[in-house]
Each structure stands twice: as structure tokens, then as C-alpha cells.
Structure 1
């Protein structure tokens, strides 16, 4: 693994610390409010029903707030670029760190093109667009002209990112202010147009699909919508005051995002036409094949001006999130450091080749990509694996690096750390066996890449990868795959065996997770190794910014 704060020899530059508190906050908030706000409410209601969808959003908010608090602790104590891959590196060595970083990269590199696809799909729901210049096929994949526009959007994201992190932060600030304004405007407008409280218990009661529907909605789009708070940790290496700002930025962004999304679900369900809801059920509450739910509700309510704003926002909101993810994906590949060219930075402090590679991979995802909804479950599972590494890393570091100053301290860590790990594993399980085994294969590919790099003595690979400290990864992953196979969740056509009792399966997964947590935290590498790894990452930082033990 590369020491991310130290540039490749001979470049003379490293990542520049120029992002303030609001810049970090808006990076996280801009990631949270993307295509999920345009599409998440419809998806959640279709899976969980009216009242059940509200429970899904509240449950997801609680779960992700716990995980956000854990990241806030880690981000303040270890403010380094590509943080989600570095925390496991500090706790368990290079092999575990690369595995976590690889998972982070896979989910992050796919999000920008998913956001572009969502934007094009939403715009395509306007009748004149779909008839005269279709951007999306009936199966949700992009048409040739849709792919061309998507490629141009990815190129624009790269261009802005190449201008430097300050340029990215400043442009993102304006975008996020708009992205926050439009959902709030939509909530208020829909609540005032024609609110139907009875919709929350229509078609089978408050939660017509029971707990199964509530849980299944999380990986189907709810968690995807709320994820993104960790982006402040990915850019912590460019924060002007990371020990003060990172934790606050993560927590504030997560709380704002949770409130907005819960409000959007309330407004969406309440604004539905009871007659159409009765006719189409929760599978088609606003009409067959409609991809722009708020746009349709605005049109049917006679609020044409809101419909026009929503079409504009269908470009800005997903586009803004895609812009951020190209930048943060570049920081993750910079942290991974394979090949070594990815660690080269320009005079502006930009990891130029990391941005180029992230953009090219994103363009590849555009064609032939499955629809937005089909990709969301797999990406959500990869995100949950990334999140799962945080609680076990913090738990291990509290044992082997106890004197590290922590600007923000997670409350009740003995409870919230194993609970947070269980939350992440439950999100993976609810995604079903079809997604879980694919994620395990993806992890294996990344580990093989690392092993080859070690055998080839590649640059930027830790000479002491500590394979033994990462042996727990495969019993954990195999356990999740088996639970997924025996479980009760997944898409139509998957091979779940439905052996686990449906009223107890969540408790079984949680118990498995807690056992794994307490076994894993005991395998942390010794204190001297942790200090060596941290010091290597901050070797070129000013003394006041080094997160060394004893610095207040």
C-alpha cells in the first residue's frame, strides 16, 4: 500500500489542504442527495408499501447514522485521503487495507455512471424526449445517443476535477445548495397540493408486505440514496483543519440527508392519487413505466412550474453526485497506489492519472449497463462491505492505538461498534444471495491483484502486508454468502433456499456478525505497526497536522 500523503518521488507535490468545513459538508451532502431522491421514494413504496416505506427510511437512517458516527471518529483521528481504505490498513495491515480499498473503489467507480444513467432516464420520462430523441431503451439501458451524452458528462466531471480540489469544492457548493433547495421545495409543494393521509394504509394496511418488505426496501434503493456521508473522509487529506472539521461535516450531512429523504417519502405517498393507487397497487402507484414520479405528480397536480424545475434538477442532482464520485474515486485509487502512476499529482495537488482512470472506468460502465434499479442492489452491497470495515477497524485501533487524540469520540463504543458491524452485514444479507456471491468474487479478484503485486515486488506495496491479520475476511464473507443462500431475500429468479425462519433470520445474521466482530478486533496488528503506518502517511505534513499520539 502506498503512503498516501507522500507523493511519488520526483513529483515535488502532494495533495493540498484547501477544503474548509462547508466544503467537506457539501461533499458528503452532495453525495447523499443524488439520483436517490428522484427515484428512492417510488422504489421504497413499491417494495414496502406506503407506511412500510416510511419505516424503511427511518430504519436506514438509524443504521447509517451509527455508521456515520463511526466514520466521524476515524476521520477525525486519521485525516488521510482515501480514508476508508486506510483505516483497515492501520488496524490489520496492507492486505486487509487493500481489500477494503478495492471494495471501496469498485462501488465508487460505478456510482458516477449510475447517476448519469438515472439523470438520462428521468429526462427520458418526458414524452417529447422519449418520442423524438430517446435516451433510454424500454429495458432501462441507454440508447446510442444516451451513451454519447453520458460519455460527455463523464468527461465534464473529469475536467472539473482536474482543476483542483478547491475548484471541485467551490463548484460543488453551488450545486448542493440547488440540490437541497429543490427537494425541500418539492416536499412543501406536494404537501400543500392535495395530501391523502389514507394512502399510508392503502392496499393492505400500513405495512402490507410486513417486515420482509421493510427490510427488502433497504438494498433496493433506500440505503443507496442515503449513502455518501463517507466522502468527507475520502477528502480528509485535503481539509484545512481535518481534526476539527471532518467529524462535524459527516454528522451534519448525514442528519440533513435523513430528514430530507424521510420528508420526501411522506410527501410522495401522501400526494398519490387514491384512485390510481387502488388500480395499480404499490407496484404501479402512479402509472406503468413511469420513471419520473415527482414530475408526474407535479403534472397531475397542475404545478407545471415544479415539473419544469424537476427536469432541470434531474440533470443537476445526479450530475453533481457523479462529479463528486469521480473526484473521490480518484482519491481512493491514489490511496491504493497500484500502479504507482496513480500517486502522481500535479502542481494543483491533483492525482491526475487517478482521475483519468476513474473516468475511463465510469465510461465503460455506461454501456452495456443494466438499468439503475438493477445496479443499485449490488452497489449497495459493496458499500455495506466498505462500511463494515469501519467498526472493526475502529474497534481494533482502540485496542492497539489507544492514545491517539480523537477530536470526536464515538459514544458507547462497546455497544455501537458491534451494532454498526451488524447493521452493515444485515444490509448485505437483505440484498440477497445473487448480489452477495458476486461481491465475494469481486473481493477475491482484488486480493489476487494485491498478491501478484507483492510477488512482483511492485512499488507502493507494503513490504509487510500481514496476511495473517486478514485471514478473518474469508470466513466472514463465506458466512455471508451461506446466510444469503439459506435466506429469504433477493430478486426474482435468484436461488435463495428460504431455510432460515423469516421471523428470526435478521437475529441470526446479527448474532453471526457480533461473533465475527469480537473475534476480528483481537487480530489487530501491534501498536508499533499502527504507528509506523500512520507516520508513513503523514511524513510530509506539518507537525501540527500529524495525528500522532500525544498531540492535542
Structure 2
């Protein structure tokens, strides 16, 4: 994606984009992103947080993601540009908002590779206990192995990413096949129906059900729908196929994940419940599905799962190392970060952006030594990135009303503020101990963006458009304060005191406050949006380049 200083005539669609992708291709593109490392641990952590009611958590998570996805479906079909999650707020509110949501996009991308490494190491620790301590935290040797994984991702990206791209279809088939096979085999060989009634349906109440959505890998697992949106400019029939692909991919993914949750609970040995849901314990717990397979005498399935626990996360990690360097490259092309991020090798690889992402990825392991803690951060960064879509949606319906909309969301003026509320609830449920870390990362990002502008490290730095982004600092700070005063923690209700949340806001009233706060920010943002002419200039100055 590129932004040029001289405004050019707006072009609704780049003629170089060929509309060759059908419904199945769109669904498969999103499904490959939805089925990732989340399935390896989501069922265990959701059961620990919510008991049998984890099934409700998956249903709520799927509905929330569908609401967000439909808003992005209209925007993605209207503006088939790379990095749409950063571009949509830029069109509506200008460069300050665009740079901010671009940074949120980069934060989300840079943390995915470490989380995939953590997933692999968790499973590996069953056979190599020196990788992790008893609390599932990386040991010094485990951290060294994590560095080796990350270095491998970088090396492959430098030399072999073209080959990797060609294997994506086969990798998607593998990603879907292994969990489906696991569901069928466990359901047929080990299923204890009485497990579902243990300690009642919802042993930790509503707070356990809701916190599981953000902190147990549920939202993290369901993310990826935007791949269909990103291909909107190449869809044969976007008005018909984009909404079907979005809801179809989420429906298939949710069905697989709910079935995994059912067979996981059903396959647990009765001895696993000795210390209750929150402390489920069984042999091979570090690799939960492989451990269960071993316990019921399915050694061949356990072996397959241990192989998958390295292959599937590694494939995703490789892709996200690529994505991270491209996001920083795009941010530099837009003038937001230093021009050095545009430095590329002879093969066209943004080498500085890739090495920077490698270093940051290694730092990420330090404050998030476990898979579950990192999940909350990635979920919050992802949903914060997506939150810009609903805000831009309402504005662009007014600022750019005549642009062709291959897909128009029915009742869009109602659903866009609802989607913004949903985004903020998901972020809030992640817990204060996750959000303060996200806040630190955001502040560091603003120091980088501000330092780049003040020191003029990028000659293409655009006008900031602060007036149209005046709501943004209030939004970020306000969300943090509400989280601090709330009662959600990434490690569950029992850890409120240790995580720093004051628990001053009663359950349900806290969510009412989030909803009211969200609506206030939403309509404030609509009020101060860019003038229509400025929006048209920003839209017209973007060159959509196929393959970028």
C-alpha cells in the first residue's frame, strides 16, 4: 500500500485485479487462518475457565466475530486495498488515526509468531521437560529454543517464502484434517457423558464464561475471517460471496472448535477432576489432546498430534513473520515510521522490518512466558485493530456515499455501533493484567511514531489530522481505566488482587459502562470525522498495487 502526496483521481477498482476467486476459494482462504494453533490449547483453557459452559463461550465468541466480520465485509469490498484495517480509519479520520491503527495492526502481527512458537514448545515439553518449568513457563533452555524457532522463520522468509506460499493450500487441508480426525476418533473411543455435569453447568458463573472468550484462545482461534475481505477485489461475485464466505468460514471453524471442546470434556478421565475444573490434571497436560490420546491407548493419534503441533504453528509463524515485515514496510511508505523500514534485499524482502520484528518477538516472550497469557495480548491487539472498522464504517457511509458497494450490510447504521461495543467488550474481558501490557506497547509505538515525525526520519510524513482523531486518546485511556476498575483478570476471578484490578465495578454494570462509553466515543468520532473532500483526497491518493 502506498500513499502519495499529490492527489490523483479516485479509482474505484484497479484494473489489474482479476476477479477469479469463487465462493469456495474465499471460504478456504479464511478457514486456513481460523484453524491454527488455537485448537491445540483452546479446549483445555476454556474448560478450566468456564467448565462445561465453555460451550456457551464458544457460541458467544462466534456471534461476536460474525458481527465484526460483516462490518469489515462491506469495507473490504468497497476498498480492496492491502492493510485495510489501517486504511479504513485513515480514510475516515486522517493520518493520526491511520498511523495508530496501523501500529495496532503491526502489534497484532508481530505477536502471532511468538504465540505459534509457544504452542509448539508446550507440546514439545511433554517429551523434553527441560523446555518448560512446572508452571508451563519457558526455562532458559526453552527460551534458547524459542530463539532458534524465530531465527528459522526469518531465514526461511529471506530465502524460501515463494515455496512456502505455494504450499498454503496443502497446509490448509492438513490444518483442517487433523482436528477433524481427532474429533471423530476421540468421540468413537473415549467419551464419558457424566463429565458434563461435574460441579454443575457453569461452575464459575458468568464471569468465567465471559473471561474465557478473551483469555482462553476462543477469539484468538476464530480470528482470520478478514482473509475473505482482503480478497474482495478479486472475487467473482463479492455481493453474494463475501458475506457467505465470512459467515461460512466462521461457522465451519466454530463447528470444529465446539466439537473439539465437546470431545475434550468427554474424553477427560475422571481422575482429571480431582482438583476441580480450574486445575484439570492428567498425563500429558502440556499437550492436552495428545495427552488424552495417549491416555486412551491411541498412540498413533498422539504421534500425529505431536507432529502437527510443530508443523501447523510453524507454517502460521512463517506467514506472520512475512506479514509483520510487510506491515512495517507499508507504514514506512505512508510516512508513519522511519524510512529504513523500506530497505529491501535483492529478492525484495524488507530486511530491516523483518529483523526488527525478530527482536521484538524475542522480547514478547519475556512478559508473556506462557501461551495463555500471550493469547490475551494477541486477542486484545487484534480486536483493537478491528475496532477501527466500525468507527470508519459509519463515517464512510456519509463521506463516500456514491462509491459502489459490492456488498452492502443491511441495517449497517445499527450494526456498526454494535460491532464497536462488541470489540470493546472483548478487549475488556481480557483483563487488566493483559491490558496494561498492551498499553505499554501502544505508548512505545507512539514514541516510535512521534520520534520519527519529530526527527524527520521519513520525508513522506503526512499531516497528522489531529482534529479528526481527538477522540482516540480518550478512547484508549478510558478503556484502560474501566478495565483497571473492573473485575476481569486473564487468570480468572480468583486472581483479581494479584492482577491489579480493583473490582470496583459490579459485574454487568461494568458492561453497561463499556456500552455507554463505546457509544459516546463512536458518535464523537462521527461528529469530528474528516470533511468529505479530505476523505476523497485520501482515498484517491492510494494506489492499489496487485500483490502488495
Please give the range of the TM-score, normalised by the shorter of the 2 chains.
0.7 to 0.9
CA positional deviation for 1:58 = 0.5
Write the distance in 2 (CA, Å) between the matches of 1:254 and 1:169: 23
Which position in structure 1 is the counterpart of 2:105? 104
Which position in structure 2 is the counterpart of 1:179? 175
Which position in structure 2 is the counterpart of 1:303? 298
1:54-65 pair list within 5 angstroms: 54-65=55-66
Is 1:3 aligned to 2:35, yes or no?
Answer: no
1:131-530 pair list within 5 angstroms: 134-162=130-158, 167-203=163-199, 205-221=200-216, 222-231=218-227, 244=238, 250-273=246-269, 275-287=270-282, 290-337=285-332, 338-344=337-343, 350-366=349-365, 369-459=368-458, 461-490=460-489, 491=491, 492=495, 493-530=498-535
CA positional deviation for 1:35 = 1.9
Compared CA separation, residues 315 and 168, structure 1 to 2 (3 A): same
CA positional deviation for 1:288 = 7.6
CA positional deviation for 1:299 = 1.2
Write the distance in 1 (CA, Å) between the matches of 2:51 and 2:135: 24
Compared CA separation, residues 4 and 374, structure 1 to 2 (3 A): farther
CA positional deviation for 1:311 = 0.6
Which position in structure 2 is the counterpart of 1:114? 115
Contact 1:37 1:261 in 2 (8 A): yes
Write the distance in 1 (CA, Å) between the matches of 2:215 and 2:236: 34
Q: Which runs of 5+ in 2 are unaligned?
A: 7-15
Compared CA separation, residues 540 and 207, structure 1 to 2 (3 A): closer
Write the distance in 2 (CA, Å) between the matches of 1:165 and 1:413: 39
Number of residues paired by the alignment? 525
Which position in structure 1 is the counterpart of 2:10? none
Which position in structure 1 is the counterpart of 2:12? none
Write the distance in 1 (CA, Å) between the matches of 2:441 and 2:458: 23
Which position in structure 1 is the counterpart of 2:43? 41
Write the distance in 1 (CA, Å) between the matches of 2:62 and 2:415: 15
Compared CA separation, residues 439 and 148, structure 1 to 2 (3 A): closer
Is 1:532 aligned to 2:528, yes or no?
Answer: no
Contact 2:242 2:407 in 1 (8 A): no
**Offset from partner CA, 1:312-361 (integer Å, 9 cap, x none):** 11112211221221122222212211222333566766545433433343
**Offset from partner CA, 1:421-474 (integer Å, 9 cap, x none):** 111101111122222233233323323332333333343644322011111012
Write the distance in 2 (CA, Å) between the matches of 1:343 and 1:253: 34
Contact 1:2 1:462 in 2 (8 A): no
**TM, length-normalised to structure 1:** 0.86
Write the distance in 1 (CA, Å) between the matches of 2:267 and 2:284: 18
Structure 1, 425-434 or 55-64: larger mean CA deviation: 425-434
Compared CA separation, residues 315 and 198, structure 1 to 2 (3 A): same
Compared CA separation, residues 406 and 422, structure 1 to 2 (3 A): same
Write the distance in 2 (CA, Å) between the matches of 1:253 and 1:323: 22
Compared CA separation, residues 3 and 76, structure 1 to 2 (3 A): same
**Offset from partner CA, 1:358-414 (integer Å, 9 cap, x none):** 334324434675111222222222222112111101121112111222222223212
Aligned to 2:131, the other structure's residue is in SS state: coil
Write the distance in 2 (CA, Å) between the matches of 1:455 and 1:5: 19
Contact 2:49 2:277 in 1 (8 A): yes
Aligned to 1:49, the other structure's residue is in SS state: helix
Contact 2:183 2:260 in 1 (8 A): yes
CA positional deviation for 1:230 = 3.0
Compared CA separation, residues 76 and 243, structure 1 to 2 (3 A): farther
Structure 1, 364-373 or 255-264: larger mean CA deviation: 364-373
Write the distance in 1 (CA, Å) between the matches of 2:346 and 2:19: 16
Compared CA separation, residues 56 and 527, structure 1 to 2 (3 A): same
Which position in structure 1 is the counterpart of 2:11? none
Write the distance in 1 (CA, Å) between the matches of 2:409 and 2:365: 39
Contact 1:91 1:396 in 2 (8 A): yes
**TM, length-normalised to structure 2:** 0.87
Q: Which runs of 5+ in 1 are unaligned?
A: 7-15, 546-552
Write the distance in 1 (CA, Å) between the matches of 2:331 and 2:485: 35
Write the distance in 2 (CA, Å) between the matches of 1:45 and 1:462: 48
Write the distance in 2 (CA, Å) between the matches of 1:19 and 1:167: 24
Aligned to 2:503, the other structure's residue is in SS state: coil
Contact 1:334 1:354 in 2 (8 A): yes
Write the distance in 2 (CA, Å) between the matches of 1:537 and 1:47: 45
Compared CA separation, residues 81 and 236, structure 1 to 2 (3 A): farther
Structure 1, 96-105 or 524-533: larger mean CA deviation: 524-533
